[in-house]
Amino acid sequence: MRPFKAIRRPEYFFNPRQIWRRLWRHSLFEGNAIRLAWGLPVEVDPISGVGLDIINIGVSDRVVAEAIWRLLDPGETAFDIGANIGQNASIMALVVGPRGRVVAFEPGPAAWSILTRNVQSWAPYDLAPITVVRQGLSSQIGEGLLHEAIDLGGCSLEDQPPGPPRIAPPGARGIKVELTTLDAFVSQPTEIGLMKMDVEGHELAVLDGSARILEQRLVRDIIFEDFYPQPSPVTLRLQAARYEVFALSPAWHRPILVPLQLSDKSLINFLATRDPDRARARFEADGWRCLRLRAQRKRDL
C-alpha cells in the first residue's frame, strides 16, 4: 500500500482497522476471516471485482452501501435484486434490524451458493431475517438464459449488457434460470422501504414486471445501476411513475445527490425516490457511516 493511502481513501480513513486487514489480507483469506466493513464474516470469490474490493477495503461500491444505510429505517422491508454474494443484503438486514425483512434475489448458481452460505453464517448476528430467492426478476414469468462471466458480478440476462466488457468462461453457453416478476412475487400490497437493482442491464425488464407496484407507489426508494447515457429508458420509466431521480456521487466526505440533468457518464449509481425531501435530508450529514457500523451478536449466543 502506498503512503497516505488511509488519507486518500474513505474506506481506510473512516475504518482504520481495514488498513491492518489489507496488510494481512493473505493470511486472513487463508483463515477464512474476511469481513465486511461492518464486521460480518463473508465468503467471497477472490477473482471477482466485488470480492477483491471486500478483501482490500471491506466494501464494494461504498456509495450504494451508504445510501442503503441512510435511507432505510428499522422495521422496514428491503429487496436486493441481483444480490450477488450478499454484501448489500447484509447491510439492509443490519439497518432494518430483527423487526425488519430482507429479500435477496440471485439466479446465478455460483453467486447463489456463496450467498446462501453467507446468509447462514450471519445467523448468530442481530439482523433481520434474509430470504434468499433463487430466481431472477424480469418482465414475465418463465425461463431465461443467464449469460455467464468469469466475474460473478458480470452475469446478465441480456445478450449484450452495457458497461465494462464481460469475459465469458471457456465453453460458456448460458445457464437456464427461473424468472418471475415483482408483481407476482409481491401478491399482496406490501410497503417496501428500499429496493436495490443491479442486474447488468436488465433493470428496465425488472421495472416492467413491477408495473402494479410502481403504479401503487409501494416502493419508496429505488437504488439502481445504469450504464446508459442519461436520461436512459430506466430513468424515464421511473420518472413516468412519478419518482424523482438523482445520481449518487461518491465524494470523499459523503455521498452527494446530483440532479439527473447535472449528472455525467462517470456516475453509474442512481436513486429514484417518491419522497425527494426526505432523501435530501438523509444525505445532508458528512461522513460514511456504513464504514463505522458494527454488527452485534445476538445476546443469547
Q: Name the percent of the chain lying above pLDDT 70.
A: 89
- pLDDT at residue number 26: 52
Encode pLDDT of 56-108 as tens digits.
899 999 999 999 999 999 999 999 999 999 999 999 999 999 999 999 999 99
Task: Look up the CATH number of domain 5-291.
Answer: 3.40.50.150
- pLDDT at residue number 24: 52
26 vs 221, which has greater pLDDT?
Answer: 221
pLDDT of 223 above 90: yes
- pLDDT at residue number 168: 83
- pLDDT at residue number 102: 98
Encode pLDDT of 1-58 as tens digits.
454 455 567 666 666 666 545 555 554 544 457 999 999 999 999 889 999 999 989 9
Least confident of 12-26, 258-272, 283-297: 12-26
- pLDDT at residue number 137: 98
In this prediction the pTM is 0.91
Q: Name the percent of the chain lying above pLDDT 90.
A: 78
CA distance 86 to 119: 8
pLDDT of 271 above 90: yes
Encode pLDDT of 127-168 as tens digits.
999 999 999 999 999 999 999 999 988 999 998 888 888 888
Encode pLDDT of 232-244 as tens digits.
999 999 999 999 9
What mean pLDDT is reported for the chain? 91
